[in-house]
């Protein structure tokens, strides 16, 4: 009996809940396989999908968003061995620890979805016949520039707080090790994450930086690349449409959530 041929995996972008090839048809070789090289058109398609999904994702209850993130963690946990063995830049033991940390991080932010509003909002003291209260709202569409390393945990660390706060995400994954980051789209696809809430692009940062960070439908930027040569460009592009730029180096959960929310204050009369 002849041995059957192994079906080679075709890596694709994850846009609007679908797996698509780059519009340009270009690819880059990584670890013996070809990965898509995103174009400006792919960026526009990703932002369009994120914008269309943002209102629906933000309208979901905090409890529901937490359940979706918890399901995301469950699905990643179920493929943890596969993700650990696919690591390109570390030992198997370290890769298992990284995947475990990514799962734990998703569970962590799943638990925060219905808690941060109470910590960030509240009733403001006003010495007049009305009260004032503030509540956090999502910033909107968040562009995430993920670090090269760690490729999986680095992406989850920036994506999880954005999703937990009710934002939708367009992420440029690790340029050096993109395979596991692209595989995360498969996990999202079976995790009740709405199509368009998470979009994953793969390509060259110098080609994607301007169309993504300068897009007028992007409301905030998370720059986790650690590349100083791009920081000035990102800040200049953000300033054109008053985007918030976050470069969170620490692990403060509330600070990460605050960076991707806006406080809405309302006034309400009291008394006669």
When pLDDT is cut at 50, 70 and 90, the band that residue 163 belongs to is very high
Asked if residue 151 lies in contact with residue 174, where contact means CB atoms within 8 angstroms, the answer is yes
Q: Where are the beta strands (DSSP E) in the chain?
A: 13-15, 18-20, 27-30, 33-36, 122-124, 130-138, 141-145, 168-172, 198-201, 220-223, 244-246, 261-269
Q: pLDDT of 122-154, one tens digit each? A: 777 777 777 787 888 999 999 999 999 999 999
Q: pLDDT of 40-62, one tens digit each? A: 999 999 999 999 999 999 999 99
Write down the pLDDT at residue 88: 80
The DSSP bridge partners found for residue 134 are 122, 265
Write down the pLDDT at residue 26: 92
State percent of the chain over pLDDT 90.
75
Asked if residue 140 lies in contact with residue 219, where contact means CB atoms within 8 angstroms, the answer is yes
Q: How far is CA 50 from CA 16, 18, 167, in A?
A: 7, 13, 9
The mean pLDDT of 10-24, rounded to a whole number, is 94
d(CA 179, CA 174): 9
195 pLDDT more than 90: yes
Q: Which residue has the higher pLDDT, 146 or 4?
A: 146
The mean pLDDT of 222-245, rounded to a whole number, is 93
Domains and CATH numbers, the chain: 13-269 (3.40.605.10)
pTM over 0.75: yes
Residue 45's nearest CA partner among 242, 237, 168, 201 is 201
């Amino acid at each position: 009996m002849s041995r059957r041929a192994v079906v080679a995996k075709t890596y694709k972008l994850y846009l609007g809940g679908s797996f698509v090839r780059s519009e340009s048809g270009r690819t880059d070789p990584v670890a013996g396989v070809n990965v898509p090289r995103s174009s400006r058109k792919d960026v526009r398609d990703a932002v369009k999908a994120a914008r269309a999904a943002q209102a629906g994702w933000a309208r979901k209850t905090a409890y529901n968003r937490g359940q979706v993130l918890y399901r995301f963690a469950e699905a990643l946990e179920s493929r943890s061995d596969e993700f650990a063995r696919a690591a390109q830049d570390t030992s198997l033991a370290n890769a298992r620890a990284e995947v475990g940390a990514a799962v734990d991080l998703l569970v962590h932010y799943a638990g925060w979805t219905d808690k941060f509003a109470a910590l960030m909002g509240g009733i403001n003291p006003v010495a007049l016949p009305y009260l004032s209260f503030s509540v956090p709202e999502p910033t909107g569409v968040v562009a995430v520039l993920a670090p090269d390393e760690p490729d999986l945990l680095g992406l989850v660390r920036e994506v999880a707080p954005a999703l937990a706060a009710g934002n939708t995400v367009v992420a440029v994954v690790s340029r050096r090790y993109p395979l596991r980051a692209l595989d995360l789209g498969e996990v999202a696809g079976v995790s009740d994450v709405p199509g368009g809430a998470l979009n994953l692009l793969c390509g060259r940062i110098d080609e994607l930086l301007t169309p993504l960070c300068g897009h007028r439908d992007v409301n905030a930027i998370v720059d986790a690349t650690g590349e100083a040569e791009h920081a000035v460009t990102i800040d200049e592009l953000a300033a054109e449409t008053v985007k918030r730029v976050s470069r969170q180096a620490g692990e403060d959960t509330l600070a990460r959530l605050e960076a991707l929310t806006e406080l809405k204050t309302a006034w309400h009369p009291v008394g006669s």
